[in-house]
């Protein structure tokens, strides 16, 4: 069909771990050897980090691929592992969550507080008729009750389905209907960009079309007026008055823990189903290994929303199962000012920060003076997730947030994988900016060509996973065939992640973006990521998105959209000059084949609500088509800004 991805970018900088971190790291290079020798034995040892009510009989049952069963016969309770066992070990007074509301109000919850609230919520849900195996939809802002609601479901064996609080009534309706949820947990609203943003009216609209919903539990956050129906119950009247004692009952290792919908590009969202024992084993282990988390001394902060998988795995289940102290923030990074994130790091003395490339590039655009205005000396480790991080963004992050010395873990994983799969180990790996480096111990990843053959070092192709892993999705809710078709049919016996990737000369893995975004220029498959990284490596560019637009001579031609850094002059002549310079810069960095046909300087890029660039819409602009579905856009005015600037150089 098409040849493998052209391998253009040549990034050779490499940064070994700080000596002190390496000397005290939770996980050393030995883990790779151990896992290579006995992968299942390795995962069994990691499962042993958790408290099990009943030991498993078999680590992995792979007799009916691609349907995996991990820790067969084992039983445990996820909430017990995240809360009770820390309280029982005398750590009840330890802070679990430093919560910071967008308006500046704060709450501090210890493990004992979180345990009590979760037990009350478990009792309240039981009272409302929720039983093990029932589905509960959660539609909440970033308030502690979001974590409590998830843990309460886990505690009673109800399968939660968290829907991001920014989604529309239609999106919420589809997700409630697909999972036939019995209860919805929501709030009157949350705070966003300096003002209350209502949630309850959206739930009312959705519930009117969802006969499965029997009750709606409503947290009071903003205090704004809400409409009320017979199904509605205030959280403070139901949960906070419930009995605080609740004995967690163990569930089977394969009991369904949660469903999380990925929007994807096609109309019907996929309900990714995760189970109990394997999921908690891998999220817990990776938090310990990749973030080198030391629960006694670290203050951890993951900036994701709980509505995404990163919030599930690295705000709720991974950190809490390890007994971490963490920061949780309700709002946006520029409310009330652009230094808000750094102010929070400074205030809580955050030691580990886990954020997304989109945020780092936004910070680059705003300028390095902003982080420079805060004391960030508490930080000791930085993480990135969600998209490929451009080498220059990586360097900026290390330089201006990490004092030029902190390790960065670029973590590749997906909603489907449940936990981090490919990442440096901070005490072991000499990281290269822009590369996720190597599969974690116990993970077998590869890059293959069109025929599914492993490519040699230096080659490009498709990222696959060769062996099942504990936190893998078990199926797509209610649609086993779609599960098989989507992930297991492209290459026989391999999990196809949908991402392009290359192996460099040392065999390290570089992610090159979704294969749907790959461009075909004069017969060469070229990755959008590499051209974007070349643009971002120019000192005038903060962020870039690249698409392939139909072209009569080359099949597709490269069209780029670039956001200039804050201080750059782009008016008139200066803009034209910058564009010419950028085209040449890309040609010089990657070769003439990658020279963009056209570059547009834009103030913003279209992003999904989880911060990923939506190249599909830019392709519509580049090919002068009317825009496709924009409902998953974070900010719908962005496309008008971009389209209206199409005529001139800017
Ligand atoms: C965790 C999460 C998954 C897709 C994935 C890939 C992209 C995530 C990445 C990365 C390059 C990284 N992605 N992390 N690409 N480097 N470190 O984001 O899950 O929302 O399901 O998205 O995100 O394309 O396939 P999800």
Known binding-site residue numbers for CoA? 192-195, 310, 522
Cα 589 to chain center, whole Å? Answer: 30
The DSSP bridge partners found for residue 234 are: 218
State mean pLDDT over 405-424. Answer: 98
Query: 68 and 468 in contact (C-beta within 8 Å)?
Result: yes
State mean pLDDT over 503-508. Answer: 97
Task: Enter the pTM of the model.
Answer: 0.96
Q: Where are the domains of the chain?
A: 522-645
If you measure from the C-alpha of residue 34 to the centroid of ligand 1, how many angstroms do you get, rounded to a whole number? Answer: 27
What digits encode the pLDDT tens for the residues 39-94? 999 999 999 999 999 999 999 999 999 999 999 999 999 999 999 999 999 999 99
Burial class (CB in 10 A: 0-12, 13-18, 19+), 630: middle
pLDDT at 471 (0 to 100): 98
What rounded mean pLDDT belongs to the chain? 95
pLDDT category at 1 given cuts 50, 70, 90 is: very low
- Print burial letters for 284-320: b (CB count within 10 Å at least 16), e (below 16): bbbbbbbbbbbbeebbbbbbbbbbbbbbbbbbbbbbb
Pocket test for ligand 1, best of 306, 386, 497 (most atoms within 8 A of CB): 386
pLDDT at 645 (0 to 100): 59
State mean pLDDT over 538-564. Answer: 96
Ligand 1 atom 4 nearest Cα: 414
Which residues lie with the beta carbon below 6 Å from any ligand 1 atom?
A: 262, 308-310, 385-388, 410-415, 436, 497-499, 511, 514, 610
Residue 157 pLDDT > 90: yes
Residue 233 tokens read as 């119950």
Q: If one looks up domain 522-645 in CATH, what number appears?
A: 3.30.300.30
Helices (H), 48-109: 78-79, 85-86
Query: 188 and 204 in contact (C-beta within 8 Å)?
Result: no
pLDDT category at 650 given cuts 50, 70, 90 is: very low
Q: What angle do CA 341, 563, 594 make, to 5 degrees?
A: 125
pLDDT at 10 (0 to 100): 86
What digits encode the pLDDT tens for the residues 439-483? 999 999 999 999 999 999 999 999 999 999 999 999 999 999 999
Residue 615 pLDDT > 70: yes
Helix (H) or strand (E) holding 117: helix 111-127
Q: Looking at 5-14, 137-146, 552-561, which range is the least confident one?
A: 5-14
Residue 557 tokens read as 């031609």
Sign of the torsion angle spanned by Cα atoms 387, 388, 392, 398? positive
The minimum-distance atom of ligand 1 relative to the CA of 384 is 17
Residue 614 tokens read as 């939506």
Q: Tell me how far apart the terminal alpha carbons of the chain are, to the nearest angstrom.
A: 38
Residue 264 pLDDT > 80: no
Burial class (CB in 10 A: 0-12, 13-18, 19+), 648: exposed
If you measure from the C-alpha of residue 536 to the centroid of ligand 1, how many angstroms do you get, rounded to a whole number? Answer: 19
Q: Give 257 or 569, the one with higher predicted confidence.
A: 257
What digits encode the pLDDT tens for the residues 184-214? 999 999 999 999 999 999 999 999 999 999 9
Cα distances from 263 to residues 149, 172, 206, 305, 634, in angstroms, run: 23, 12, 18, 16, 13
pLDDT at 647 (0 to 100): 42
């Amino acid at each position: 069909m098409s040849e493998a991805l052209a391998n253009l970018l040549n990034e050779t900088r490499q940064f070994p771990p700080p000596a002190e971190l390496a000397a005290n790291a939770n996980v050393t290079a030995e883990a790779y050897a151990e896992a290579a020798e006995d992968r299942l034995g390795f995962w069994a040892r990691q499962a042993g980090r958790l408290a099990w009510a009943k030991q498993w009989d078999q680590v992995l049952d792979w007799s009916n691929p691609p349907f995996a069963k991990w820790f067969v016969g084992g039983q445990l309770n996820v909430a017990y592992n995240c809360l009770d066992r820390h309280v029982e070990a005398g750590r009840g007074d330890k802070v679990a969550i430093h919560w910071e509301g967008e308006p500046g109000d704060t709450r501090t919850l210890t493990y004992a507080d979180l345990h009590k609230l979760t037990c009350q919520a478990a009792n309240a849900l039981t009272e409302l008729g929720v039983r093990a195996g029932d589905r509960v939809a959660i539609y909440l802002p970033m308030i502690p009750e979001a974590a409590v609601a998830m843990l309460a479901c886990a505690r009673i064996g109800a399968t939660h389905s968290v829907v991001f609080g920014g989604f529309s009534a239609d999106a919420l309706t589809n997700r409630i209907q697909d999972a036939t949820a019995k209860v919805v947990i929501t709030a009157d609203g949350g705070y966003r960009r300096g003002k209350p943003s209502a949630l309850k009216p959206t739930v009312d609209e959705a519930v009117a079309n969802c006969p499965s919903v029997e009750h709606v539990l409503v947290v009071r956050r903003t205090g704004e007026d809400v409409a009320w129906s017979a199904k509605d119950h205030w959280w403070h009247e139901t949960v906070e008055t419930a009995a605080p004692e609740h004995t967690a009952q163990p569930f089977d290792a394969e009991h369904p823990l949660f469903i999380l919908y990925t929007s994807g590009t096609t109309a019907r969202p996929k309900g990714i189903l995760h189970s109990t024992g394997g999921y908690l084993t891998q999220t817990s282990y990776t938090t310990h290994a990749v973030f080198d988390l030391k629960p006694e001394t670290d203050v951890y902060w993951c900036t994701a929303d709980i509505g995404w998988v990163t919030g599930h795995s690295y705000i709720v289940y991974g950190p809490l199962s390890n007994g971490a102290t963490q920061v949780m923030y309700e709002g946006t990074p520029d409310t009330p000012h652009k230094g808000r994130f750094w102010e929070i790091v400074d205030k809580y003395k955050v030691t580990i920060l886990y954020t997304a490339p989109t945020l780092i590039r936004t910070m680059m655009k705003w300028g390095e003076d902003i982080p420079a205005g805060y004391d960030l000396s508490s930080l000791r480790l930085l993480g990135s997730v969600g998209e490929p991080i451009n080498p220059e963004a990586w360097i900026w992050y290390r330089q201006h947030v990490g004092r030029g010395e902190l390790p960065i873990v670029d973590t590749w994983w997906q909603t489907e994988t449940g936990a981090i799969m490919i990442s440096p180990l901070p005490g072991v790996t000499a990281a290269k900016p822009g590369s996720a480096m190597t599969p974690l111990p116990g993970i077998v990843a590869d890059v293959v060509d069109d025929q599914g053959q492993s490519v040699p070092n230096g080659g490009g192709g498709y990222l696959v996973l060769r062996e099942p892993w504990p936190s893998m999705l078990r199926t797509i809710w209610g649609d086993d065939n779609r599960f098989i078709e989507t992930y297991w049919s492209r290459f026989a016996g391999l999990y196809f992640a949908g991402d392009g990737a290359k192996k460099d000369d040392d065999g390290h893995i570089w992610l090159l973006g979704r294969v749907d975004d790959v461009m075909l220029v004069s017969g060469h498959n070229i990755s959008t990521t590499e051209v974007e990284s070349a643009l971002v490596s120019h000192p005038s560019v903060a962020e870039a998105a690249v698409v392939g637009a139909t072209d009569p001579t080359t099949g597709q031609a490269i069209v780029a959209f670039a956001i200039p850094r804050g201080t750059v002059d782009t008016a008139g002549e200066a803009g034209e000059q910058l564009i010419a310079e950028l085209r040449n810069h890309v040609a010089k960095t990657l070769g003439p084949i990658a020279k963009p046909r056209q570059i547009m300087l834009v103030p913003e890029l279209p992003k999904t609500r989880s911060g990923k660039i939506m190249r599909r819409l830019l392709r519509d602009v580049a090919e002068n088509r009317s825009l496709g579905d924009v409902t998953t856009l974070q900010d719908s005015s962005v496309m008008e800004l971009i389209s209206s600037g199409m005529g001139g150089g800017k």
